[in-house]
Amino acid sequence: MLLDASESQLVLVDYQTRLLPAIFDSATVVANALRLAQAADLLDVPTWGTEQNPSKLGENPPELRALCRNTLSKMQFSGVEEGLGEWLRPPAKPVQGNARSLPKHLQKSSAGEERNTIVIAGLEAHICLLQTALDLLEDEFEVWVVTDACSSRTERNRDAAFDRLAGAGAELVTTEMVLFEWLRTAEHADFKAIQALVK
């Protein structure tokens, strides 16, 4: 099973400026998050951000915030608990006109294009990322965790989160795996632009 850009959404969890100095390998993690967001922008993959208690931990870096459609300010550790799921899967719009005017099989779906594949990365892997990802799995999204764009204050906590997420059914991937699966071919119109992000 490969990622499909047309079915994907990207969620960037809590890359907050006051938290970053305490995070293991934070420079690499933020650089990979930025690559993901830039590629998502090129490939029309919707990108969403979250910020945990931003009045205390600061906002996400402006270059990441600028690539997000919206950023959820939250106090719960799971973004799903504060409405992220509604952004990722908005409620269906009511059918316009007389619902009986066409047989059900001929009526157009009012939900629009569903993107149930969530590519997720962020901080801290064992707290906010973990709880958000587990809630997304419970809500029947496919969850792909970008391991080299995730971290915690310690490697042990980060790795424990990956073990638990894999056991719960999340796919563990890297930034380059995501980018090249979204592309699928060197003939893609955005191949050179995406390739430049990883060089």
Distance CA 22, CA 36 (A): 22
Q: Is residue 98 part of a domain?
A: no
How many domains does the structure of the chain reveal? 1
Amino acid 90: pLDDT: 79
- CB neighbours of residue 91 within 10 Å: 8
Of 112, 115, 70, 74, nearest to 93 by C-alpha is 112
Amino acid 199: pLDDT: 86
Amino acid 111: pLDDT: 47
* 54, 74 contact by CB (below 8 A): no
Q: Is residue 145 part of a domain?
A: yes
Domain that holds residue 35: 5-89+116-198
Please identify every stretch of the chain with a pLDDT value under 70, giving residue numbers as ranges.
92-113
The CATH number for 13's domain is 3.40.50.850
Q: Is residue 84 part of a domain?
A: yes
Q: Is residue 103 part of a domain?
A: no
Q: Please, which contacts does 22-28 make with residues 24 or more away whose CB atoms are closer than 8 Å?
A: 22/153, 23/123, 23/124, 23/151, 23/152, 23/153, 24/151, 24/152, 24/153, 24/154, 24/155, 24/158, 25/151, 26/151, 28/148
Q: Is residue 104 part of a domain?
A: no
- Please state the pTM of the whole predicted model: 0.89
